[in-house]
Structure formats: structure tokens, C-alpha cells
Structure 1
Amino acid sequence: MTANDPSRRIRDAAAAIEARLVAIRRDIHAHPELAFEEVRTAGIVAAELARLGIAHRTGLGGTGVLGVIEGGRRGPTLAIRADMDALPIAEETGLPYASTVAGKMHACGHDIHTATLLGVAEVLKDLAPMLAGRVLLVFQPAEEVLQGAAAMIADGAAEGIDLALGFHNQPDIAVGRFGFAPGACLAASDRFDLVIRGKSGHAAHPHAAVDPIVAAAAFVAQAQTVVSREIRPIHPAVVTIGSFQGGATYNIIPERAALKGTVRTLHAEARELAEAAIRRLATGLETTMRVQCALDYQRMVPPLVNDERVLRPVLGAVRAQFGELIEEGEPSMGSEDFSAFAALAPAAHLRIGSGAPGRADRLHNAQYQPDERCIALGVQALSRAAVEMLA
């Protein structure tokens, strides 16, 4: 290690605050808050930033918090983002710090993310004189509904950013290791609501009615051909119908049926084709099935693309801090509204291993238990990345 190598300084700083960060994480975990409800969590964040003497603003995007660390020299602005919201899941872990709020749980590890970025804030505050530029600490609400990033950006959270760094705990990567996927690493997420109106009638006389359930069933089947027959096989895409509602009893053909679906794509061409196909299929039902269709198709977030200009120095920083403990993975058809920041500036998204030995955890699971050692390790990785990018 050279005199200018910050490895040991960052490692020692992360170790010194690890117990406090774990305590903060457990407090947040016990008091989960859903999208745009993160008032208590935001209060903890603001209090910690104030304790550290870090300038910050609250209320961005509703409940978001934005901290600012000015470096010792002028340079680019790097935004590092953590999400804060929980999920509407009833926790089943039995942990002593399990959720105290019925039906709500940090089952995706956003409590881990919040504690990690608070640790990064403390480390970078101490290292600020060696930074050329400034760091924006973005504590974001409402990632789970893919709306918090846009809300914070609308309130000015991304003004002047030149680089952006996101991260997520990853239970399928062992704690102590890190991961990434080159290029498009997370999918665009779009959604649609389709209401199909027919003509109600007695089940014994279907010829006198217009059955919206049969029409909806036809749409569900046809929607599966969007991926298999309209999108290039080398372009991953998913069309899933997540809700099908119509009718209330055995012998009545209802007036309406309603579907909810999601479309996930990694490529712009596939995204365009999928939307056009869904619209065409809905229009076609009106002719072929004699129904009326009302389609509400919403584009939510674009694909999250790892830009080599950021990904390369981030991976170099992780290797410099930990050695060869990083693995290349595959893209995911899950989505992340950090892509809204990535659409404004070159960005990268780091996967931080949180898999505990002997467990096979999954995100969005009522029994999810990430290995808390990933907090201090994440602090080291992200702090070193910031130092390298703002050298």
C-alpha cells in the first residue's frame, strides 16, 4: 500500500462504524414504511447527516433526503443513491428486530441500503479534502413503485450531476463478494390496464350476451405471442398478466373484465414492438370478440444501462479495495428506477453480495435475511469508488 492508497483508511473507518450502522439498519427494519410514507426513515437519515455536519435538504420527492459533501478541489458531481421504502409483505423471520408494523417488511433490503449510504457519508465526509468534486447522497423514497427517482429529480435532486452510482444487496452473491452485469443490466418496466366491456347475460343463453371473460382469456393467450413471435429471440422480453378480474358468480356473464399486466424489455426496439403489439391486440378484440376495450399503457422506467465510463472505474475501485472478489453476472428482467438518474448522466449499478452462509434467500420474500456484514463491505466499496472517480 502506497502513502496515497486509501485502502486501509477506508477499511478501518468502515469497521469503526459498522456496529452503529447495523443498529440503524435494525431500527429501520423494525419500523418499515411503504412508498412515499418514509417519514420516520427520512428523519433518521436527516439526523445522522446533521450529526456528521453534512449539509442536506429534506422533502425532495415527498420524503427524500439529499446530502452534499464538497470536496477539497473542484471537479465533477457524483450522485450515490440508496432507496428507503419497504414492501407490503408480512414478515416471517422471527428476528428480534422483525417488523413491528403489520403487513409491512423490508424484504428487499432497502434498510441495508439506507444504512450503507449513511456509512458512505461518514467515510467520505472525513475524506472530503482529497476529493476533486462533490458527492450528492441521494436517499430516495418509493423505488418499489418505480416513482421515487422521478419525484426527487423533479424537485432538483439531480441538478448538476455528472456521474451516478447505484447499488443493491444481492442474496445470490455470497457476502464479501460483488457483482455486475455489463451494458443493460436491468429491464425497462412498463405496465398496462385493460378493461374489456361486453354485455351481461344469463350463462344459459350466451348468444344473447357478449362475454368479456372469453375475450379477456383470448387476450391473455395472444399476449404470450408478443415475445415468442414478434420480438427478436436475442432480445430478452417478458409480458406477464398479473391480475385477471371478471364476474362474481357461476351463472352470470358479467358486463366487464379487467386485466393488469407488465412488460419488461432490455432493448429499445423490443420495448417499442411490445407496446405496439399490446395496443394492436386490444384493438383487434373489439372486432373479433364484439367487445369494447379501454387500454391504459404506461411507460414506467427505461432499462438501466451500465456505462463503461463509470462501470470501469467502479470495478477497478472494488478490486483495489478487496482484490478479485467481483464476478460478472447476467442481466435481470427486474427493474430499478435508478435508471432515471442513469438517463441523465453516465452511471453504474453495483451488486453487493448479501447471501448468508447456509441460506438461499430471495428478495421480496417474507423470510428474507441478508447478511448484515454486507453493510460495512458496501461502505468500503462505494467509498473507494467515489474516491477513485473524484481523484
Structure 2
Amino acid sequence: MQNLQRFEAQLIDWRRQLHASPELSNHEFETTKKLKAWLSEYGIASASWGLKTGLVAEIGSGHPIIALRADIDALPIFEEVEQDFTSKHQGVMHACGHDIHSSTILGAAILLKQHEAELHGTVRIIFQPAEENYTGAYEVLDAGVLDGVAAIFGFHNIPELPVGTFGTRAGAFYANVDRFNIKIQGKGGHAGRPHETKDPIVASAQLVQAVQTITSRVVDNLDTCVVSITQIHGGTTWNVLPESVHLEGTIRTHSKAVRAQVGEHLSQIVQGVALTHGVTANLEIDHGPAALINTPKWAEFSEKVAKEAGYQIEALPLYLIGEDFAAYLEQVPGVFVSIGSNSAYGLHHPKYQPDEALILPAAQYFVRLAQQVLDHLKQQQP
């Protein structure tokens, strides 16, 4: 027990070191060095696999091969939590808990190394860069890290759940994430002579209202859909009507069909409003990560193991946030799960403060999961 307590203290210390020195997507150079050194202390070799940042380690040997993934990047947020390990990098913060994820999977790797001779296959440990800008998973795939992998597993901490709780879903879980930009080009002029202009502000106001009809009058009420305009920029002073207005926003859905339907209807609305007001409008949609679709078999399997590990199982709703782990699940079966972190403030908030008590139990859970998945897959081999 004393050794386990020391190990938990070590994991928490590593988490705090990561938290104090956060790095943005694709710039996780020091984070990568730290993780490599800590793995090496326990006799675990790791390699870059050609990635600029991030690293991959393997424990065990032979087939089957499964993967555990943790993300390692931080966010451009000014931390507002006063603690001994507050971010030393001004304007950068682990406000999503990737430091928690990394220390957890690091702990799992070390515990698995202690039982390496008993493993019926290989566990590939992936410390993935650049989740926050949705490019890291694709970099990992392009590097061939998932070649030969039979199943992949990952998790996210959930602030609204208490420590000791666990949840996942079969099928759709996290959302398709799309970003759109709209530029409305009008004709500026004197605010006291609006009839001589083509006012892009009035057109923008109508557009904001019209876009809300997509969720209320176009998409089936039984399908999940959010369309939010999050930025409007136009004008420079009080007595001049501007030449143009720029709007930006996001679309969140869970099915390919609804994703396509929303994009098509948004385009119709933009062009219709532009025609009505005699302005021109340009719409660009940037498709982010696809919806995260858990393999039902592994969702059920992971929940069974969580029960055995003593977790309280929660029935979770569909999430409308994005997660690039979805890219892995388009190529390899697996599951993404949620583990409670009990923070008064949510993800991406400057006062987000997860409970470190989740780290060791979650590491032990992933050890148990990896062992049982390998055993199961070994039994299925001819």
C-alpha cells in the first residue's frame, strides 16, 4: 500500500509538472521530452515514429496489438487558478485536462511494464500531440502508428461527474465539428443616408435570425443539431455604414446526413439573405473532426471492466463537443470513455481544476482493461 501511495504521489507530481509548463498544439517539445524521460526511468523505451511532437511506446510483444492514447497539448487560455503549479507560460493553460490524461496513461504504462511477461500481446502507448486543433490524430495515422492495431482505447475527464464515476456510449458519442465563415459585402456610406448604401449590418442581423430556423424548422427534432454564430465584426464608427461584415460560427451534429443537410441549408440561407438585401455573401465551411462512433462491442466491454474496477456507471448523453479520437475509430475498432474529475468549472474554463484523485484509479483501470482486451483477442485468434 505504501508503495502504491508513493506511486500515486509520483503521478500527481508529474501531472503538476506538466500543468505548470503547458504547450500549445504542435509545440509540445518539452512535454515530449518529459514523458520520454519518465518512461525511461521505468525501463520503457519510446520513439517519435516520425512525429514532430508526441511519442509512442510499446509494452509486451507479438500479436494482438492494442493501443492506449493520451493527448498532450494545452489551450491558449490565461489560467485563473492560484496554486503552487499554476501555469508558468502566460496565456497557455491545461484547461482541458490533457495533463491529467497524460499522467494517467503514463501510470498505466508503468504498471503494465511491471506485468509485461504476463501480457498476451502488445500494448502500444500513444502520447498524441495537437488534439485541440484536430490535427494530431491524423498525424499519428499518417505516421502508421495504428498499423496492425486491433483495438484502441482512450478517455476524457468530465468535470461535471464526481471522481469514481465512469460512462460511455455505444455508437455516436461526440459530435461532428464544423466551423463556418461568412463575409457579407455591401456598399458603405453615410449612416444618415442609408438609401444610398447596401447595408451589410441589416443583412447580417437577418442572417443571424434566419440561421436559427435550421435547428427549429429544418432538422428533425429527434436529431441532434446546434448552429451557433459566435462572432460578428463590422463597422468602425457610429456614423458610417460599413462596406462589409464578417460572421463566424460552428455547427455540431452526430450524423453524416444531418451534417450535409445543415451545410446545404446554411448555404441557401446565406445566398437568399444576400439576394434580398442586394449584397454579396461568401460562405466557407471548414469540416473538423467527424462524430466519434464507439464500437458497441468495446463500449460494453469497457463498461464491464469499469464495474469490476469499482466505478459507478453513469448513463451519459450525446456530447456536442469534438474529439479527434474519432479519426482513430474510423480506422480501428475501439472505444472512448468518460471518467469523472469533479471540477466546479468546466472544460476550457480559466478556473477549471480537476481532482487529481482520479489519476491512479484511472491508470489501474486501463491496466485491467488492456490485460482483459488482450486476453479476449488472443482467445479469438485461430
- TM band (smaller chain): over 0.9
More strand by share: 1
Corresponding residue to 1:134 among 116, 122, 130: 122
Q: TM-score, normalised by structure 1?
A: 0.91
Indicate conservation of the 8 Å contact 2:167/2:303, yes or no. Answer: no
**Matched ranges for 1:315-330 at <5 A:** 315-322=303-310, 325-330=312-317
Q: Secondary structure at the match of 1:162?
A: strand
- Change over 3 Å in CA distance of 1:90–1:335 after alignment to 2: same
What is the deviation of 1:15?
4.6
Indicate conservation of the 8 Å contact 2:64/2:149, yes or no. Answer: yes
Number of the residue aligned with 2:302: 314
Indicate conservation of the 8 Å contact 2:108/2:364, yes or no. Answer: yes
What is the deviation of 1:344?
0.7
Number of the residue aligned with 2:231: 243
Give CA-to-partner distance per residue, 1:363-382, whole Å, 9 cap, x none. 21211211101110110111
Instruction: Please tell me whether residue 46 in structure 1 is matched to residue 30 in structure 2.
Output: no
Number of the residue aligned with 2:254: 266
Indicate conservation of the 8 Å contact 2:170/2:300, yes or no. Answer: no
Number of the residue aligned with 1:382: 366
Instruction: Please tell me whether residue 187 in structure 1 is matched to residue 171 in structure 2.
Output: no
Unaligned runs of 5+ in 1: 1-10
Give the RMSD, CA atoms, in angstroms: 1.8
Q: How many residues align?
A: 375
- Aligned mates of 2:97, 2:217 — CA distance in 1: 37
- Aligned mates of 2:57, 2:335 — CA distance in 1: 20
- Aligned mates of 1:158, 1:88 — CA distance in 2: 29
- Aligned mates of 2:59, 2:2 — CA distance in 1: 20
Indicate conservation of the 8 Å contact 2:169/2:299, yes or no. Answer: no
Unaligned runs of 5+ in 2: 376-382
Percent of paired sites with the same residue: 37
Q: Secondary structure at the match of 1:101?
A: coil
Indicate conservation of the 8 Å contact 2:228/2:249, yes or no. Answer: yes
- Aligned mates of 2:85, 2:50 — CA distance in 1: 29
**Aligned letter for 2:171?**
G
Corresponding residue to 1:32 among 22, 45, 54: 22
- Aligned mates of 2:285, 2:227 — CA distance in 1: 13
What is the deviation of 1:285?
2.9
- Aligned mates of 1:52, 1:319 — CA distance in 2: 29
- Change over 3 Å in CA distance of 1:328–1:241 after alignment to 2: same
- Aligned mates of 1:255, 1:88 — CA distance in 2: 32
- Aligned mates of 1:191, 1:365 — CA distance in 2: 20
What is the deviation of 1:152?
2.1
What is the deviation of 1:61?
4.5
Q: Secondary structure at the match of 1:167?
A: strand
Indicate conservation of the 8 Å contact 1:212/1:254, yes or no. Answer: yes
Q: Secondary structure at the match of 1:118?
A: helix
Number of the residue aligned with 1:211: 199
What is the deviation of 1:56?
2.1
What is the deviation of 1:60?
4.7
Q: Flag as ranges the 4+ runs of structure 1 deviating above 3 A.
A: 11-16
- Aligned mates of 2:2, 2:289 — CA distance in 1: 38
Give CA-to-partner distance per residue, 1:121-151, whole Å, 9 cap, x none. 1111222222222222111112122222112
Give CA-to-partner distance per residue, 1:172-202, whole Å, 9 cap, x none. 1111222223321111101111111111211
- Aligned mates of 1:212, 1:16 — CA distance in 2: 63
Indicate conservation of the 8 Å contact 1:55/1:67, yes or no. Answer: yes
Indicate conservation of the 8 Å contact 1:313/1:388, yes or no. Answer: no
- Aligned mates of 2:221, 2:4 — CA distance in 1: 45
Q: Secondary structure at the match of 1:86?
A: coil
- Change over 3 Å in CA distance of 1:168–1:27 after alignment to 2: same
Instruction: Please tell me whether residue 113 in structure 1 is matched to residue 97 in structure 2.
Output: no
Range that drifts further, 22-31 or 119-128: 119-128
- Aligned mates of 2:25, 2:168 — CA distance in 1: 26
Indicate conservation of the 8 Å contact 1:317/1:384, yes or no. Answer: yes
- Aligned mates of 1:364, 1:380 — CA distance in 2: 27
Q: Secondary structure at the match of 2:79?
A: coil
What is the deviation of 1:223?
1.0
**Aligned letter for 1:124?**
L
- Aligned mates of 1:60, 1:222 — CA distance in 2: 47
Number of the residue aligned with 1:372: 356
Give CA-to-partner distance per residue, 1:274-312, whole Å, 9 cap, x none. 111112222223322222222211111111112112112
Number of the residue aligned with 1:100: 88
**Aligned letter for 1:381?**
Y
**Aligned letter for 1:333?**
L
